[in-house]
Amino acid sequence: MESEAGERNEKSGAARSLLREFCGLNQFIRPRYNASFNPLPYSMAEVHHETAFFFGHVQGVGFRYSVLQVAREFEVSGFVSNLPDGRVHLETEGEAGEVRAFITAVEERMHGYIRKTERSEQRRNALFEGFEIR
């Protein structure tokens, strides 16, 4: 009786181990619509980085949550946060085309709230993994 229970525990432990290994191997194979997509170990690769500041009626209207939803449609990482002066700050990185399309999509989605956008871009080592609201 004890040997059957021990055998079952070994099998379930092996299954859990396989599952962990499988999930670990698939950390770089994620669906396109995942805000935490990270196809490369970015800490060693240069990526396109953009900083954007949104001016207007951009706080208290679900702006950051909407940005997070849009981020799930692109292969980008970074964050969005409110600033004390009423602006929203967005930092994002990834492939240049994805990052530019992402920020344009944010501007289109939230156009009724944005009065002005200031953007700057550069190439640098990746700093972010996933996308979050701060």
pLDDT tens readout for residues 108-118: 999 999 999 99
As annotated, the active-site residues are: 64, 82
First to last CA, the chain: 53
The pTM score is: 0.66
Q: How many residues does the chain have?
A: 134
- Give pLDDT tens digits for 4-38: 555 545 555 555 554 455 554 444 333 344 444 55
- Give pLDDT tens digits for 35-92: 445 555 444 578 999 999 999 999 999 999 999 999 999 999 999 999 999 999 999 9
The residue among 115, 92, 93 whose CA lies nearest residue 40 is 93
CATH number for 42-133 (one of 3.30.1330.40, 3.40.50.1110, 3.30.70.100, 3.40.50.720): it is 3.30.70.100
